[in-house]
Every structure is written in structure tokens, then in C-alpha cells.
Amino acid sequence: MVYIRQDKLPKLKEYKYSAVDHSLVSRYVMKPFYSNVVIHFFPMWMAPNLITLTGFGFVVLNFLTLLWYTPTLDQDCPPWVYFSWAIGLFLYQTFDACDGTQARRTHQSGPLGELFDHGVDAINTTLEVLIFSAAMNLGQGWKTVLTLFASSMTFYVQTWEEYHTGTLTLGLVSGPVEGILTLCFIYALTGVLGGGSFWEQPALQTLHIAKTDMIPDYLYNLAWNEWYMVYGGIMLVFNTVSSAKNVMAARRRRGQQARIALLGLLTFAGAWVLIPAYLYLQPIILHYHLVPFVFFAGLINAFSVGRMIISHLTKSRFPRGNVLIYPLIYAVADSLAPILREHTGLGWPSALGNDVYQVAFVFMCLGLGIGVHGSFIVDVIWTICDYLDIWCLTIKYPFSPVKGEQEAKERLEKEGRLDKKEL
């Protein structure tokens, strides 16, 4: 499959990165730290995308320790594991923030960098859902699924907003800044408190708040990890509504129909109608094999986000639909058919059943997701590198200050803004 049409390739040269960051933490703390301290540790020969990929490697190491110590997402780990998760995520954030500075520093800024950065962030979102669920001892169940939903929707809506507005907008509180720093703090605190089982305790009782008639029983008994999900739900609604307003305002300024843009959310909505339906119909997957299924669900979202980024870079129409949803449609229909047959007489015996074949199907879907998304990544990187005459993980044409100054003077002279004698 061709993901970038030949007639859209010239749009890549018109690319110009646009972002607005309203975060005070980012402006006064993190950016000075990155620009004045961290960036000097990266040599000039190091490609920005290589920095991004190296940072992602720390998260992969975190995930490997998760698989070793708590593959079911509900077991306490040694304290050093949680500390390593905090350090690994902070390093990922640092490397991810420095790749743009390195791109400007080495004069390697371009559309491939944005695609690569967002692509890695999409995969990291899924890994962090699992790591956070393990830190909170959420286990294999609906709490982890809800966490995946909130994280995936936040990333999808943010990319959807960037497509329609042309600008990546980060609010006063955003996932890439405050969200990641909060997770780092939670991981480190979990290590100090002795493990994820602490977060399963009722929060108000742990804080020694006395029970009164004004506090309902369900609220008083709400665990720490459940309070976090309430907070996450409030932030999800706020960020989604804010993004929708920004998109509709941008389209109105261009004289376009505002509500048409909302149709772009249907792809995400369709996937998340099928995902909980399948898990409800197949509790064996929900409670015993959720980790591979979360990977597959994450790849569905990553594939949609990747295609949105390509459409944004090439100024193409919004991509609707997702081929990775089709196996879920089949799985839900196959699981629902025996129930319909029993109650209405309309249906058929399940081809996958409720046991080993269902597990094999999930791993097959995971393989399909890796194949489809992997082919997408390889194809677009190869296409962009070939057209722009660049390399992905190394710098093909190192910037020379003398040569760059000469080229700038020649360009100005050609445009008639510099006297030739000044050359």
C-alpha cells in the first residue's frame, strides 16, 4: 500500500513546524534545563531521530522489567524497579524534548522529524499505560482498559486538533510535560511506599480523614488508584472539549463547516465501541491475556495517528477508517453470534470458541498490527528520505557554518536584497 501519493510529495518541502506551549513548567523550568544543560551532552554528529529512538529505548527497558516482575500488572516489585521506571521515563521525556533543539542546532529540521517523534510517542503511550497499571496494581481488568482509553483518546484528539489547526497546542497542563512528570513522581513514590499495593488502599482512610454523614460510603472507600481515574476522566473531558473548540474555531476562520471536522473522531469511536464489546464477551482475554490485547489496541491507535500526521504533512484529506479494526468486527460478531442464536434463533456457532483459539486469535491480531503498522513506518520513512535526500538516523549532509553563511548570502543576492559587492 502506498501511504504518500507522488503528487503530494512536493508538500513536504512546504513543511513548517508550528507549536504553542502554554505550560509554565515547560517555559521556566524544563526548556531552560534542556537548552542550557542537556543539549550540550549530544554531539553535533548525532541525528535528532537517533536521540528520539535512544530515549525510547529507556521505556522499552522499563517494559522488559515489568514483564519479568509483574506480567499480570498486580504484583509488588522490588523498590529499585519503580525507581528505574521513574528514571527511564524522565530520560525519555528529556531525549524527546531535546530532539527538536538538536534538529535546529544541526539544521536538520524537517517533516520526518515530526513524523518520527509522533510515531514513537504513540507507541510509548501504550507502554506507559501498562507500566502505570503495574505501578498502581490495576491488574488485568477494566481499570487498565479505561486507562488505555483515556491515554489513547488524549493522543488521538491532540493529533486531530493539530491536523485541523496546523499547530500543536499544549495547554497550561499537558500530557507531554506535567503528565509525564506526574508519572515519574508516582513511580518514585511507589518505590518509597513499598509497592503498588499501597495505591489499592482507600485514600481518605489512609489520610486519616474521619467518616461523616456528608461523605458517601462509596466515596470514602474509593482507593487511591480509583481517585486517579476520576481525575483522569475530568482532565480527558476538559482537554477533548478544548480541542474540539479550537478545531471548530480554526475551521470557521477559514470559512469551512466546523462540525464536519467532528466526523474525524468516528474512527476512534468505532474502535472503542468494538474493544470493550469484545473484552466483555471474552473475559478470558480481559482477565488473563490483556497485555497482548492492549498492544494490539495501541497499534490501532498508533496507525490512525500516523496516517493523520502524514495527511497533515502533505496537506491531504483527513484519513478515515482503519484496516486494523476489521479483525475486531469479526471477533465481536463471532462472539455475539452464539448468544443471538440462543435467545433469538438467529446466529451461528462460534468459530473461535472461548478458550485457546480465542487467545491464538489475539496474538494473530497483534502480529497483524505489528505487520501493518511496521510496513507503514518503513514505507513513509523510505519515501520521505528518498524524496528529501536525507537519512533517518544519521546526518547525510552535516551543516557547515561557513557554507551556510555563503549560501544565505547567495540567496539574498539572488533575491536582490544584497549588493553583490558585499559577497
In sequence order, what are the beta bridge partners of 223?
Answer: 202
C-alpha grid cell for residue 290?
490483556
The residue assigned the cell 470493550 is 276
> Distance between CA 415 and CA 68 in Å, rounded?
62
User: Is residue 289 annotated as a catalytic residue, yes or no?
Assistant: no
Is there a contact between 410 and 423 (Cβ–Cβ < 8 Å)?
yes
Is there a contact between 143 and 225 (Cβ–Cβ < 8 Å)?
yes
> Distance between CA 226 and CA 206 in Å, rounded?
14
The single residue of 22, 40, 118, 289 carrying the catalytic annotation is 118
Q: What backbone phi and psi angles, to 5 degrees, belong to 196? A: -70, -15
Cite the active site residues. 118
